Chains A and B, each alone.
Chain A
């Protein structure tokens, strides 16, 4: 963008001082970034003449608390109080490009951009102050948005007044040192808390546009079904109902969502249903038979299985779209506003500049709100009807169109010498990714091999769409590996914590293991010790997290009660310790689900769990006592926080069940039925 464009853009935002960025900011921090943030016509930061600072973020807020932590980073580098920052997120007309909010990447990769832009703004402001006050730069100090020195002072607001300055970060911004931090590293309450406890926070479903229609879309009875016929005459006869039939899209619309639902119930359709090849029991054999692996040899070999899991965010996929003067505006609860813009523009045959995606608060994402089917549907219907349209998926639609966390099979083949040194760790994974499969242990013969079934006709092994589910694949891989570690420890009669410490690669790993074990009150003993306690560790998103857990197993019912979980995490420099702990607790609570109760049931393309009645999420009565420990490591750059603590949950609980009962469970979720089967098999 040339200087003129920049000035024009600056005026569009309302003047003041606007900071754009040119150098890949990740370089400032030595972070590895697969694709740097490009120079973008949009600003990172604006200072207005009231001294208010607006931070522009392509990242979005779905509960993870980054609106708070990003504001902390900006406040720190600018030298203003935390309350002086406003944040605009996920509005494609206003914010810099971003690929999407996933992978615990915000703090690691967007954080450096925010800090660099803020540090650059501070430099500009000090320079302006020096000119205005007639005091040399080096004599000026900044506190709370006031520049002072030589007996004089001036506020950021006064400096920005009447200015239209667009600045690029051209040189290495000088960042504040950790020892000088006033805002970063301090526990801060969520900036959105007040709006969320009063009902004022706006989600996509809360958008209201004049003349807005609620749409309900005709759905197939199962994945893979093809429509033979459709009869919309009953719906057409209903007063005020608009019926859309275009290509694959059959929808009914009305200003009242309940009437739209009634109209849809009156639509008759017939479908060709493909034969079911497998269900939630037989899918695992299908994976392994479909993509055969060579035989593996080692002292220990175990096969682990994990089920398909739903994201089940409390807010179903929702979008509102409105077409006005050739421009489409869509309010979408999405983790990928720019991806949504591209897809909507392509589908509607519009230029990307004619599509604006605005992201309100998102009622939970966990990876499931990256696909934007509901946004495309709303946009198509707005284009066809010429009216604003809301698409709010029902819970059944949410379960049907979810991109489920994939079921998977993992085979671990391992060996150990008589000193308790792990010599071999071969990790073969079917149908899920390899994330976190590489172990944090020092093993000479370590190997990870994925068997995805891709590149062959039929590509995916899965009967329906799968996708990223909070730390995709990592929970599966670490469940398998960390269970295997305990199997080896028990065989060699070594305390499982001791075996991990003996094989640990690096001090960061040892520290989290020891911290979690100490806080739990670890009593060393080979398993099964009867204590019902265990430890497991994951290495994910640059963060190390150890979970020590304590369980009780009801031998009559097979129910596992998780009594305590202690989490110790090294995530490098912590921006908001309060927010980081909330994420760790959230991971542990959500983790109870895929570990103990969540398992999507299906028969071929037919989803048998259509609501939360049969798909069992964690509840208040399931929640253990949770303690969280953040290991101080300020010299290490900030790492991911949204996912790491969910990763070791499977193994922490499975290992604790083994320690309590001597029963080893190889499949998640560990339902009472599977526990009882395990107990029965051990007895005989």
Chain B
């Protein structure tokens, strides 16, 4: 149904007037022009489209826009504050935790949600949480090291 949906986007009020059953991924990448969130598989399997709604990681390719109504949506573009990177972003740089960079936004957002829920997750919790996010370049152990570093 076409209607006005209001929510907070990366800390600021936002609204879009559109069909509320459109998938969040395409609204974010299209209407909101935030292209850091990626399309990888369209079935919620790869995790490249991960964003946070009220601090919880969701697959935006499987989440209708209506799910963000009245909530706080954070995308990769919302982590940097006043030119200062989020500790996860800095740790990903420092550990070389990326190659092609296409899965990176989803990796960081998934880890961001983990750290919201658990301040210092043990290594096995990190691996378990990240297991459904796919990286084809094989930066896995550097990603785990970066998340550990950021949670210190």
Contacts and interface: CB of A to CB of B under 8 A. Distances in A.
B101 A363 contact: yes
Given A197-B93, A314-B135, A617-B134, A586 B99 contact: yes
B34 A199 contact: yes
Nearest to B47: A314
A376 interface: no
Interface string A196-213: 111111110110100000
Interface stretch (B37-45, B52-60, B114-122): B37-45
Given A193-B93, A363-B102, A199 B137 contact: no
Interface string B1-36: 000000000000000000000110010011001111
B67 interface: no
A562 to B, nearest CB: 12
B66 interface: no
B107 to A, nearest CB: 9
B39 A205 contact: yes
B38 A363 contact: yes
Given A63-B99, A197-B98, A585 B139 contact: yes
B100 to A, nearest CB: 3
B42 A618 contact: no
B73 interface: no
Contacts of A366: 136
Interface in B116-134: 127-128, 130-134
A197 B92 contact: yes
A619 B43 contact: no
B103 A314 contact: yes
Contacts of A257: 26, 30
Interface string A292-334: 0000000000000000000011111000000000000000000
A208 B33 contact: yes
Interface in A42-62: 62
B96 A64 contact: no
Given A189-B93, A258-B26, A585-B141, A612 B134 contact: yes
A620 B36 CA distance: 22
Interface stretch (A343-351, A476-484, A587-595): A587-595
B96 A63 contact: no
B68 interface: no
Given A190-B96, A198-B77, A590 B102 contact: no
A578 B142 CA distance: 12
Given A198-B36, A395-B41, A590 B136 contact: yes
B111 to A, nearest CB: 11
B113 interface: no
A500 to B, nearest CB: 26
Contact of B136 (A196, A314, A578, A611): A314
A313 B38 CA distance: 13
B70 interface: no
Contacts of A200: 36
Contact of B131 (A208, A361, A365, A621): A621
A65 interface: yes
A194 interface: yes
Given A199-B77, A589-B138, A620 B127 contact: yes
Contacts, number: 166
B96 A589 contact: no
Contacts of A256: 22, 26, 30
Given A619-B134, A621-B131, A205 B35 contact: yes
B140 interface: yes
Contacts of B143: 620
B26 A315 contact: no
A190 B134 contact: no
Interface in A168-205: 189-190, 192-203, 205
Contact of A587 (B35, B93, B138, B144): B138
B101 A201 contact: yes
Contacts of A143: none
B89 interface: yes
A111 to B, nearest CB: 19
A617 B136 contact: yes
Given A208-B33, A590-B136, A314 B48 contact: yes
Nearest to B107: A197
A206 B77 CA distance: 14
Nearest to B127: A620
A588 B141 CA distance: 11
A258 B136 CA distance: 26
A669 interface: no
A363 B127 CA distance: 23
A394 B45 CA distance: 13
B46 A197 contact: no
Contact of B128 (A192, A363, A585, A621): A621
A208 B142 CA distance: 32
A361 B103 CA distance: 13
B139 A312 contact: no
B38 A612 contact: no
A364 B136 contact: yes
A320 to B, nearest CB: 12
Given A202-B35, A585-B142, A620 B131 contact: yes
Contacts of A316: 39-40
A238 interface: no
A277 to B, nearest CB: 30
Contact of A364 (B80, B92, B100): B100
Interface in A196-245: 196-203, 205-206, 208
B96 A314 contact: no
A571 interface: no
A619 B143 CA distance: 12
B35 A199 contact: yes
B98 A315 contact: no
A301 B85 CA distance: 58
Contact of B40 (A194, A208, A315, A587): A315
A590 B100 CA distance: 14
A461 B37 CA distance: 40
B138 A196 contact: no
Interface in A114-164: none
A361 B138 contact: no
Nearest to B90: A197
B99 A64 contact: yes
A392 interface: yes
Q: Which of A199, A200, A578, A586 has the most CB atoms of chain B within a 10 A radius of its CB?
A: A199
Given A199-B35, A312-B136, 12 more contacts: A189-B93, A197-B98, A199-B105, A256-B30, A258-B26, A316-B39, A363-B38, A582-B142, A611-B45, A612-B46, A620-B133, A620-B143
18 contacts: A190-B96, A193-B98, A197-B101, A197-B104, A198-B36, A198-B76, A203-B38, A205-B39, A313-B102, A313-B136, A315-B40, A315-B102, A363-B101, A582-B99, A617-B134, A619-B134, A623-B141, A626-B141
- Give 10 nearest A-B pairs by CB, closest first: A199-B36, A589-B138, A363-B102, A63-B100, A196-B101, A63-B99, A586-B138, A199-B76, A206-B35, A197-B89
Interface of A: 62-65, 189-190, 192-203, 205-206, 208, 256-258, 312-316, 361-366, 392, 394-395, 578, 582, 585-590, 611-613, 617-621, 623, 625-626
